Structures are given as C-alpha cells and as structure tokens.
C-alpha cells in the first residue's frame, strides 16, 4: 500500500491551509505533529476525500483517489477529532449500524463487531449506551467503527484529545498493534502520542511539512543544542526572554531551566541530549519575549 501526495495544496479564499506538500507513505505509523491550526485536519480531510485540493494530487497505488471513488473508500478507515455517534445506541448497536452504512453484509458485520469490541477492550460495556461511556471508551468505539471494513489505510485525527494518561497509553498500544498490516496516519499536538509508536514523524507548520524522518533522524536534525542550567530568578527571567525554554523548575530559590540555544547560554549551562519535545519547541515554540508573563 502506497499513498503519494504530489504538490498538494488547499486554499480557502486568501488563506492557504495546506501548502504544496509532496510526500510518500507506505505501511507503518506516521505521526503528524504540529500545533492547532497547522493544517493537519485539512490535510487529513483531503486524504479521506472529504475535501478536494485546490491543486495537486493524491495517488493510492498509482491511482488518483478522487477517481477511485468507492474502491478507495473501501480501503479507508477514518476517525475524525469529533466523530458522530448516537448517544442512545449501545456500543454493539452503533457498530452494527455503521456497518450497514458501509455496506458490510450482516453476517460479516456481526462477526467483525464482536471481534473489534474485544480488540478495543469494550467487551464489558458492549451493551451499554454510548452516552454512559467515558471519553476513553467512546474513542475506543470510534477506533472500532474506523476498523469495521478492515481498512488498509487508517487515518486518525487527534485520537487521544481529552483522554487521561492511562487511556492514552492504552490507545497508543492499540494503534501500534493495528499498524502491523496497514498504513496509519496519526495527527496530534501531543508529543508523547507519536514519540513511542511512530515509524516516521512528520512535523507540520503553517500548512507545510517542515521536517520528516524517524525519531532519531528528527532529533539529530535539530540545528541548535539543548542546555540545562540552575540560575537565580533574575538570570532565569533574562534567559527565558532570549531563548526558547522547554522546562522551568523552582529549586531552593533558584530556577532550573532547559533551553535551546546554538551557543552555550550561560557559564553554568550543561549540554543535555535532546528529545522530541525539544524539537517540537524548536519548530513551534516562541521565545519568552513574545509572550506576556513573569517567572
């Protein structure tokens, strides 16, 4: 399975949401990482044929997805950030209903529904109404509906939004398991969602992919270094106005800073190994002098 985005662009009036993206994806987990408003949802909606590009093309195994019609949609599973569900439906009834909309035969739908309810860990609540489920359980039901047609392409838009840490971990493990035989595109602004499971990370900013690669490649490509220092509060305030600070911690009337700088920012600064969160800050963060705030 291969998806190719060729010079893909989407404009809304004078605003360019997706700006000339060229990209190739095969099986595995792709983490689409960026702040809100970066263009992630617009890109995913085009991949799901819900929006047509202003220019450029998307190809699935060499075919234009907008000309493939149902042939492409049969390969596709999609979980939008705010997916629709019927609160009075039970989990099982909801999945059977979605199966009928997708044109899955009743015998197959029943078997597939039971399999997926077990896979996403909803067996004990299969007969409960959706309105009575926690946010995490609803997201699991959302994943199950996206998997009903056993898609070869699974597109997930902010799937862990609003979930607690335990639910996010469970969700990540599930996504990793589901990716074994398919392509998964996971959009998020939560670094840990992609740090542990993505085979390839795509950093998206202002409608463009500003960097892509494996976790190690992305981290090693950051041109500036990461430093740790323990300084008085007035020094910390000055440093935070000059540099991008990824962490700030008060320790016995002093401030421990983790910051990004090409040069050593102060005498006490020690070089530390960067992590993906530092890369995220480098591309998407702002220096303290662009914000209003005190230490």
User: How far is residue 257's CA from residue 248's CA, in Å, rounded to a whole number?
Assistant: 5
pLDDT of residue 5: 97
- CA torsion through residues 108, 114, 118, 121, sign: positive
pLDDT of residue 83: 76
- Based on the fold, state whether residues 138 and 266 are members of the same structural domain: no
- Based on the fold, state whether residues 111 and 181 are members of the same structural domain: yes
- Based on the fold, state whether residues 197 and 130 are members of the same structural domain: yes
Residues composing the chain: 295
Average pLDDT score over residue span 236-253: 92
**Residue 180 falls within a domain, yes or no?**
yes
- Based on the fold, state whether residues 11 and 154 are members of the same structural domain: yes
Average pLDDT score over residue span 170-187: 86
Average pLDDT score over residue span 241-251: 92
Q: Write the DSSP assignment of the chain as a string of letters.
A: --EEEEEEEEEETTEEEEEEEEEEE-SEEEEEE--TTSSHHHHHHHHTTSS--SEEEEEETTEEHHHHTHHHHTTEEEE-TT----TTSBHHHHHHHHHHHTT--HHHHHHHHHHHHHHTT-GGGTTSBGGGS-HHHHHHHHHHHHHTT--SEEEEESTTTT--HHHHHHHHHHHHHHGGGSEEEEEES-HHHHHTT-SEEEEEETTEEEEEE-HHHHHHT-SSEEEEEEEEHHHHHHHHHHSEEEEEEEETTEEEEEEEESS--STT-EEE---HHHHHHHHH---GGGS----
Q: What tens digit of pLDDT does each residue of 78-124 get?
A: 999 877 778 899 999 999 999 999 899 999 999 999 999 998 889 99
Average pLDDT of the chain? 90
pLDDT of residue 258: 96
* pLDDT band per the 50, 70, 90 thresholds, residue 292: very low
- Based on the fold, state whether residues 183 and 267 are members of the same structural domain: no
**Residue 295 falls within a domain, yes or no?**
no
- Based on the fold, state whether residues 252 and 132 are members of the same structural domain: no
pLDDT of residue 287: 54
**Residue 183 falls within a domain, yes or no?**
yes
Cα Rg of the chain, angstroms: 22
Asked which of 56-65, 100-109, 155-164 is least confident by mean pLDDT, the reply is: 155-164
Beta bridge mates, 153: 76, 183
pLDDT(182) > 60: yes
pTM of the model: 0.87
* pLDDT band per the 50, 70, 90 thresholds, residue 266: very high
User: How far is residue 80's CA from residue 164's CA, in Å, rounded to a whole number?
Assistant: 19
End-to-end CA distance of the chain: 50
pLDDT of residue 286: 67
From 220, 238, 256, the end of a domain falls on: 220
Average pLDDT score over residue span 38-65: 96
Structural domain of residue 233, as residue ranges? 225-290
Average pLDDT score over residue span 6-11: 97
From 203, 220, 237, the end of a domain falls on: 220
* pLDDT band per the 50, 70, 90 thresholds, residue 167: confident
Percentage of the chain modeled with pLDDT above 70: 96
- Based on the fold, state whether residues 145 and 23 are members of the same structural domain: yes
- Based on the fold, state whether residues 194 and 273 are members of the same structural domain: no
Percentage of the chain modeled with pLDDT above 90: 72
Asked which of 136-150, 210-224, 265-279 is least confident by mean pLDDT, the reply is: 136-150
- Based on the fold, state whether residues 229 and 214 are members of the same structural domain: no
- Overall number of domains in the chain: 2
pLDDT of residue 293: 35
pLDDT of residue 106: 94
* pLDDT band per the 50, 70, 90 thresholds, residue 179: confident
pLDDT of residue 290: 44
- Based on the fold, state whether residues 180 and 201 are members of the same structural domain: yes
């Amino acid at each position: 399975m291969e998806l190719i985005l060729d010079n893909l662009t989407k404009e809304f009036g004078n605003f360019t949401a997706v700006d000339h993206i060229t990209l190739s994806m095969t099986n595995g987990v792709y983490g689409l990482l960026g702040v809100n408003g970066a263009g992630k949802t617009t890109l995913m909606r085009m991949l799901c044929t819900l929006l047509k590009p202003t220019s450029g093309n998307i190809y699935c195994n060499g075919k234009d997805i907008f000309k493939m019609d149902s042939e492409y949609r049969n390969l596709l599973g999609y979980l939008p950030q705010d997916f629709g569900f019927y609160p009075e439906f039970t989990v099982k009834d909801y999945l059977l209903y979605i199966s009928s909309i997708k044109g899955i035969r009743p015998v197959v739908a029943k078997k597939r529904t039971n399999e997926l309810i077990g896979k996403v860990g909803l067996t004990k609540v299969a007969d409960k109404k959706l309105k009575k489920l926690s946010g995490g359980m609803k997201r699991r039901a959302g994943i199950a509906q996206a998997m009903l047609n056993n898609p070869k392409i699974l597109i997930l838009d902010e799937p862990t939004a609003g979930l607690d840490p335990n639910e996010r971990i469970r969700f990540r493990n599930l996504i990793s398991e589901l990716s074994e035989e398919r392509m998964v595109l996971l959009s998020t602004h939560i670094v840990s969602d992609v740090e542990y499971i993505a085979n390839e990370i795509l950093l998206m900013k202002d409608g463009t992919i500003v960097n892509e690669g494996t976790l190690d490649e992305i981290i090693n490509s950051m041109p500036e270094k990461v430093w740790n220092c323990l300084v008085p509060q007035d020094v910390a305030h000055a440093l935070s106005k000059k540099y991008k600070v990824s962490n700030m911690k008060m320790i016995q009337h002093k401030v421990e800073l983790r910051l990004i700088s090409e040069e050593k920012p102060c005498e006490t600064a020690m070089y530390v190994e960067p992590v993906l969160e530092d890369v995220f800050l480098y591309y998407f963060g702002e220096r303290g002098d662009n914000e209003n705030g005190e230490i």
